[in-house]
Every structure is written in C-alpha cells, then in structure tokens.
Structure 1
Amino acid sequence: MAASVPIAGNRFAIIGGASLVGSATAGELLDHGAAEVVLFDNFAFGSDAAIAHLKDHPRLRLVRGDVMRMADLLRATEGLAGVLQLAAYMTLSMDRDPWSGLDVNIRGVQNVLEACRANGVRKLVFASSNATYGYGPGVAGELVEDTPFHSAGAPPAAILYGASKIIGEQLCRDAYRKWGQDYVVLRYSTVYGERQHYRAANALYIIETIDRLRRGEAPQVFGDGSETKHFVYVGDLARANRMAFESGATDVAVNTSGPAPTTTLELVQLVTELLGGGKAPEFIGAEPGKVRLTSGGAFRIAHEAAKAAIGWAPEVDMREGLRRLIAWRDGNEGRNSNEERGA
C-alpha cells in the first residue's frame, strides 16, 4: 500500500483548479481533512465564479500560474503529497486553437510530471477522458479500458483531444517506469453538475436545453434522439479523485462514468420533466461547420475496473444530478455565475 496517500493532514495541488471538477474536488479534500489544497490556474478557462464559494477557506490557497511555465509549477508543488492534473484544452478549445491545445495537453502534462519528480510528490492523479476510445460509429457496445481508439469520420478537434489524452496517459506510465512516480489515470465521462463549465460540447447541450425550455422555446434534438451519451455527476468524480489518492493503486487507468448511459431524447425529456413541462422537442439535422460531439452507436462505459482498483462506483443518477444542477442555476450563486458569463 505504499502508493496510498491519506487525505487528512496532507497537502495537495489541483492543477487547473478553478474549474467544475477542480472546485468540487477541493471541497472534497478539505472536507476530508487535507492540511492545504492549492488551486493552481492561469484563468484562461478557469473562472472566479467556479471557486467563489471556497475562496475564504483557511486551508485553501489560490496560485495563479501556467502549466507551460516550469518555475510556476515547481513553486506550487513544493512540499505536497499529491497532485491532481486537470489542466487541459477540451475539444471546443482544441478546435479554435489546436497548437496551443497540444502544447498544454502534452508538454503541460510532462511539466507537471517533472515538477512532481523534482519535489518528491508521492502520487499524481491524471484526469483523462473517455475520448481515449475515439468517436464515430466504431464506438459502440461495452467500452472497457482496453477498447481501441476509433477515429474514422470524427471531427479533427475531437481526435486531437482524444489523442492528446492518450499521450498524457503514456507520459504517466513512462514516469512510473523511469523514476517510480505513482499515479492513477481516471478516464472521465462527460462531467456535469453545479458550477457547470461551458467548454464541453455534450455538457453544454444540457445547459442549452435548460435555457431553451426556460425561454419557452422547444428544446432541440439532433437526429432521431437515439444517440448515446454517458455523463458523470461532478460530485461522484470529486469522490473518485479522492479515492484514487487514498487507494494503494498505481500504474493503472480506469473509467469513471455515471451509473448508466442516456440517449439525447431521454436527456431532453428528463430536463423538461424536471422543469415542470415545456414544448415538445424539435428534431434537427447537423449544423455545417459546428463542432458537436456525437458518440456514434449505443454504448456503455464500464466502470467496474474503478471499483476493483480504487473502490469507487458512481452514486448519483442522471435525474438527481440534473435536479441539483437546475436547483443551483435557480439559486443565487447560479444566477450570478450566468450573469458573469453573459448567459
């Protein structure tokens, strides 16, 4: 169990911490007795709104820094027991600026690993993605950890993102083999929940559906609505990050998905029901030139390996997670966050 890093009394950094998953994980670590949590972010994508509820916590420290600057990372990771590496360009950002995306998602990960080595950080948890399985019709059935990567017919930005996450995972494996850096890779499904960010195409679809129904408009469903998506609630992921540190697991990559997949039509119907009704959905075709992730065939992202490796399983189903997201958006914090974004 040498790879186990208890939360209580230890110090941690979350790289890319001013984010949906970062803020939830910071709260989780603080609640479990972390001596200090460092939120490291350059605020290119992170937001003050995401961490506003934490900023006055006595054991939280906010560090403005960039994963492309080694000096920033070396200072921020000094004396830490664990690092959670979240900082990344996602598909929509990769579409706008692929070169910067590849820099951050590959060189940025290598920089974090080098900082961990220099400062003797005991364990790294790396946020990967189910994008490592690719996109398109080949992505179908049961997606397990050794499912190959499919790229045929998918948008270039989506493939660049998925490939960059595969490389990030291999850099972690390389560090383990060369200098014994303990790590766990968690392949996140699409994350949603309170303090929702606006960078993931599939997660953004939830927000767009809520907003259209709130305005009295018909929600939009692409194709016939049978397209599968697999979401995971942010609180479940925060727990997975904590359990990855606490577990004795190392040199492993596991899926962290929600309890069950859902189709686009099921998702829209669920949001409509939770909002108390609304117009029937309109079915539309693809919009030329717009990056919109599709999953291809019907699939399930298996999470049994995560249970075996770190003891984790998802607890919050789609109905409850959406109910919490809607309640947050209707509350003061959610409204203020939307105003800041011009939403």
Structure 2
Amino acid sequence: MVNRASAAVPIEGGRFMVIGGASLVGSATTEELLARGAAEVRLFDNFSFGSGDAIAHLKDDPRVTVVQGDILRLHQLLAATEGLDGVIHLAAFMTLSMDRDPWGGLDVNIRGVQNVLEACRASKVKKLIFSSSNAVYGYGPGVKGDLVEETPFFSVGAPPAAILYGASKIVGEQLCRDAYRRHGQDYVVVRYSTVYGERQHYRAANALYIVETHDAIKRGERPKVIGDGSETKHFVYVGDLARANCLALAAAATDVAVNTSGPAPVTTLELVKLVAELSGRPDLEPLLVEPDPGKVRLTSGGAFRIDHSAAKAAIGWEPQVDMREGLRRLLFWRDRNTV
C-alpha cells in the first residue's frame, strides 16, 4: 500500500462521477457524497441494469447530473469524466447476469474497466475507486479460514458463472494496478461482500434470497431454506459500503485493495428466521428444500471469516450496521415501496 498526500481527494467541494450510478450502491454512494459536501455528482449509467426509480429521489438536487452512457463506448466516458476529481466505478455484470451472458459479462467487466481507466488518464482524474468483490477469493471448499487480501483464488467445484465473475474482478483489479504502474493513476479497490439495503433489486444471487423470502412471507407462505440452513453467508449493508467508497476517496491510500463486509456472517437458516421475525410472521416455520442444480444461487457461502483490518488501516473503515438492523431498514423500505 502506498500513502501520499496527493492521493487524498477531499469530498467537500469536489466533483465526482459514479459509474453505474442508477443502482443500489450507486444511489447510496451519491447520497453519502452529497452529505459530505460534494459540489457535483454525475451519475453515469446505460440503464440496462440500473433503474430511474433508484435515483428518483436524487434528481431534484442541483448538484446531481444524470449522464446516460455506456462504459463500452470510450468517447462517452471521455466526455463524462472531464473536470472530475474522482470516479467511483460500480458498473458490472454480477454472477446471475454472467450466467445468462458470459461473453457480454466479460466484455463489460474487463474491457469496460480498461475504458474507465483510459478516460481517467485522459481527463486527469485524481483517483478511481473500483468496486471489486470477495469473489476474487473464489468459491468452494478451498475458501476457508481468514480471508485476507493476499488469499489466493479457488475454483474447484464452483459454478462456471461464479468463477467467471470472480476472475473478471481479478482482471479488473490488475488493470488498476497496471494503470498505477504506467501512469501513476491513484486508485483503491474495495472488495464488496453481498450488498443489501434500501432500493434492493432482484439481480444479486444472495440478496435475491432475502427479497424472495420476504415476498413469500408477505403471501403467507412458509419461507424456503436452501439446503440444511447451516451454510454461512456474508453480507454488507449498502450504507456501510457508501461510506467505504467515500473514505477510500478521501484517504491518502493508493494502490491497495481492501475487504469490506458486515460485522458478522449469518447462516441461511438464521437469515430466513430473521426475515420472518422482522416481517411479523415468526410463526411461519422455514421449509428445508434441496438446492436447484439449474440455478446459480447463494454463491458466497463458506466457512470463512472476512478480515477488515486492512480497510481500517488504509481508509479508516469498519462495518457499523449489523444484519438485524440492516434487514429492518430494508424490509421497512420494501413494505412502503413495493406492491
């Protein structure tokens, strides 16, 4: 990890762009940037996955500009990055999308990152924050113990889409390292666990489990637990990630990757029971079901612990919102914003 004063980008008075801004993390990160005094936030999105609903509450702020564009079109990025202090790059195919369209996913997750880096270089953007994933450690029985930033990639026995996703994030991280080596492009990689929170969508494999469980409970159905319920999952509340993105911009750290996850893991059975309790239906006994081999689901489980010490040392971050409180906020929002 490198620390130098010039790598720190103050939020207050700064001009920033969130790529993939019309998203769960994008909307929360924009809120955090505005709360910290950003002078301008551009939301860059092609709206193939993003939604206008996710950012509807932000459009009246005069500091927010929505730019419809595609990271595979370099000329659009070049125009959009002019005059910026920092860029937060969130746009990507996730595991479920990668399963449906692996070639498209690799294009977005690799060539798209290279385009973002080239635009940052050409526009002299001071710092890039790249959203990566704990998928860079792989999947399966080889992923165990304490996951630190130097933990290698494991792939044996995992679904191809999950491995393609994790591998594409590894390549994206290395492209950031290469841009730093070649051009001095400051960056911080933030490795997310499964994100959940207000404005939750139906695209992420593990977070989908939360919203589908809530939907079933609202219909009066017994919630399903895939497997025996003992598998451990790793989630992080979206507000904690928004804070991590801003801290990474403002920190002196550069040329570093850090883990970000919630305060503690949760088993699938604990998760389902918690959703039922917070939905007011603790009487609905979970139903154990066998995993569907035709679906890519619940990909980030494992007997491991995600170590956050590097994030605390590099950018001053650690998780604050536990699973119960985060789920309470998510379900409160869903009950008021979904039919």
TM-based fold match above 0.5? yes
Identity value in percent: 75
Q: How does 1:87-166 map to 2 (within 5 A)?
A: 87-166=91-170
- Measured against aligned partners, the alpha-carbon deviations of 1:278-311 in whole angstroms (never above 9, x if no partner) come to 4100111111311113345321111111000000
* 1:50 match: 54
Matched, 1:39 2:43: yes
Of stretches 269-278 and 187-196 in structure 1, the one that deviates more from structure 2 is 269-278
Identify if the C-alpha distance between structure 1 residues 295 and 8 changes in structure 2 by more than 3 Å, giving closer, same or farther.
Answer: closer
SS at match of 2:128: strand
Matched, 1:199 2:203: yes
* 2:324 match: 319
The answer (yes or no) to whether the contact 2:209–2:298 under 8 Å persists in 1 is no
* Superposition misfits of 4+ residues, deviation over 6 angstroms: none
Counterpart CA distance in 2 for 1:188 and 1:79 is 28
- Measured against aligned partners, the alpha-carbon deviations of 1:112-171 in whole angstroms (never above 9, x if no partner) come to 000000000000000000000111111112111111111011110000000000000000
The answer (yes or no) to whether the contact 1:240–1:312 under 8 Å persists in 2 is yes
Counterpart CA distance in 1 for 2:296 and 2:183 is 40
Task: Quote how far apart the aligned CAs of 1:273 are.
Answer: 1.2
Task: Quote how far apart the aligned CAs of 1:72 are.
Answer: 0.5
Counterpart CA distance in 1 for 2:200 and 2:157 is 29
Aligned AA for 2:77?
A: L
* 2:25 match: 21
Task: Quote how far apart the aligned CAs of 1:199 are.
Answer: 1.2
Identify which of 9, 13, 36 aligns with 1:9.
Answer: 13
Ranges in structure 1 where 5+ consecutive residues have no aligned partner? none
* 2:191 match: 187
Ranges in structure 2 where 5+ consecutive residues have no aligned partner? none
Aligned AA for 2:275?
A: V
SS at match of 1:2: helix
Aligned AA for 2:128?
A: L
Q: TM-score normalized by structure 2? A: 0.97
CA RMSD of aligned residues (A): 0.9
The answer (yes or no) to whether the contact 1:138–1:297 under 8 Å persists in 2 is no
Of stretches 287-296 and 71-80 in structure 1, the one that deviates more from structure 2 is 287-296
* 1:292 match: 297
SS at match of 2:58: coil
Counterpart CA distance in 1 for 2:301 and 2:329 is 28
Q: TM-score normalized by structure 1? A: 0.96
